[in-house]
């Protein structure tokens, strides 16, 4: 067994799945979103052909990098996926998802359908069309409130949030399928349990998304910042370019990463109080000079979050390169340069 419980299908490994150095056709589901646009751009830069499938639930096709093909489609609807998969592709990067912990509590069935049924549909398409490579966007919320911090991939998953449950269920579906002994082709899957991803292009006008983007947006609009609970809960913030490095690294290292689950975090943590202080300071505002409010804690909150990132480093040499401070500066630079009346004009 590998960390995360997946079986490494080394015995079924097919040398043809090695992707390094080849121009590929890659489907990126959720490719109009925050992480998906960054990944798409990098894949295009590396000479690959990219088809984005997205239903624009949390994004817009205008964000899709030039050079990628956009296909309006919903992962909950196999008939939307079929025409693109039928064309054939070398790899699927599956990022389409409902990404909000709060929205999942408000609409559990909606979350289940997008995150689990949508992933099942993507996996079924891979089987039907013999796609040999799938990388899945899993989440650190799979761990739930664990006392083991920094948390390695071998830690048991007991998600507390509905969102964490659906992300983990989908992850297990992906890996259990790849390990099926009755498959007649090598289906190499990798999951990334991503921690709190931040960077240019992150929504900062969307209360359902990333805390850093929410804080940035509020300061830029001169609105008070609300901290839920005592603010001493910690998060591991990882810069989006580092995340993209890992996805591309896994495509380049199919053999080493197949069947495995990796944490993608910075390996460091900040409390939400610290985060607020850093974002306020980065705007040149005096400490204590900003309207900070506290509200009761929210359901599904993990108390201490910090990734143990040794497994990715040891397996395929991935290492986050940006410090939190550098990443924040780049994010603010982007936000300043793209500000419209309601938020950033476009993803970078």
Ligand X SMILES: NC(=O)c1ccc[n+]([C@@H]2O[C@H](COP(=O)([O-])OP(=O)(O)OC[C@H]3O[C@@H](n4cnc5c(N)ncnc54)[C@H](O)[C@@H]3O)[C@@H](O)[C@H]2O)c1
Binding site for ligand X (CB under 6 A): 30, 32-36, 54-59, 74-76, 95-99, 114, 118, 137, 139, 167, 194, 196-197, 210
User: What is the per-residue DSSP string for 136-168?
Assistant: EEEEGGGS-S-S-SSBPTTSPP---SHHHHHHH
- The packing angle between helices 324-337 and 211-220, to 10°, is 50
**Inter-residue contact 115 to 170 (CB < 8 Å):** yes
Residue 104 or 178 having the CB closest to ligand X: 104
The nearest distance, CB 305 to ligand X, in angstroms, is: 11
The nearest distance, CB 139 to ligand X, in angstroms, is: 4
Where are the strands (E) in the chain, listed by range? 25-29, 49-54, 69-72, 91-94, 133-139, 188-194, 196-198, 225-228, 234-235, 237-239, 260-264, 270-271, 292-295
Neighbours of 231 (CB within 10 A): 17
Residue 35 or 225 having the CB closest to ligand X: 35
Residue 36 or 267 having the CB closest to ligand X: 36
Q: How far apart (Å, rounded) are the C-alpha atoms in residues 222 and 224?
A: 7
Residue 23 or 62 having the CB closest to ligand X: 62
The nearest distance, CB 197 to ligand X, in angstroms, is: 4
The nearest distance, CB 298 to ligand X, in angstroms, is: 16
Residue 17 or 155 having the CB closest to ligand X: 155
Q: How far apart (Å, rounded) are the C-alpha atoms in residues 134 and 258?
A: 9
The nearest distance, CB 312 to ligand X, in angstroms, is: 14
With CB atoms as reference, the residue minimizing the distance to ligand X is 33
């Amino acid at each position: 067994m590998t960390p995360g419980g997946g079986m490494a299908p080394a015995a079924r490994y097919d040398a043809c799945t090695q992707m390094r150095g080849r121009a590929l056709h890659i489907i990126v589901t959720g490719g109009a979103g925050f992480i998906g646009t960054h990944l798409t751009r990098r894949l295009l830069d590396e000479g690959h052909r990219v088809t984005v499938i997205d239903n624009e639930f949390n994004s817009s096709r205008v964000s899709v990098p030039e050079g990628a093909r956009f296909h309006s489609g919903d992962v909950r609807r196999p008939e939307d996926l079929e025409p693109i998969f039928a064309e054939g592709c070398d790899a699927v990067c599956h990022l389409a998802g409902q990404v909000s912990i709060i929205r999942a509590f408000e609409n559990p069935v909606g979350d289940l359908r997008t995150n689990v049924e949508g992933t099942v549909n993507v996996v079924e398409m891979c089987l039907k069309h013999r796609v040999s490579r799938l990388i899945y966007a899993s989440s650190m919320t799979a761990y739930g409130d664990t006392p083991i911090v920094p948390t390695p991939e071998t830690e048991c998953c007991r998600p507390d949030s509905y969102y964490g449950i659906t992300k983990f269920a989908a992850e297990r579906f992906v890996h259990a399928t790849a390990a099926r002994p009755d498959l007649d082709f090598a289906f190499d899957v990798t999951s990334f349990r991503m921690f709190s991803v931040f960077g240019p292009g992150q929504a900062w006008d969307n209360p359902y998304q990333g805390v850093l983007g929410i804080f940035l947006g509020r300061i830029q609009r001169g609105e008070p910042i609300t901290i839920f609970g005592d603010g001493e809960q910690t998060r591991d913030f990882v810069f989006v370019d580092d995340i993209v490095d890992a996805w591309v690294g896994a495509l380049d290292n199919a053999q080493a990463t197949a069947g495995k689950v990796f944490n993608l975090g910075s390996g460091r943590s900040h409390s939400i109080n610290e985060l607020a202080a850093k974002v306020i300071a980065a705007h040149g505002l005096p400490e204590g000079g900003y309207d900070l409010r506290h509200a009761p804690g929210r359901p599904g909150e993990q108390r201490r979050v910090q990734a143990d990132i040794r497994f990715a480093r040891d397996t395929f040499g991935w290492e986050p390169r940006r410090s939190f401070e550098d990443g924040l500066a780049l994010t603010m630079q982007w936000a300043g340069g793209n500000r419209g009346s309601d938020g950033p004009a476009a993803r970078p």
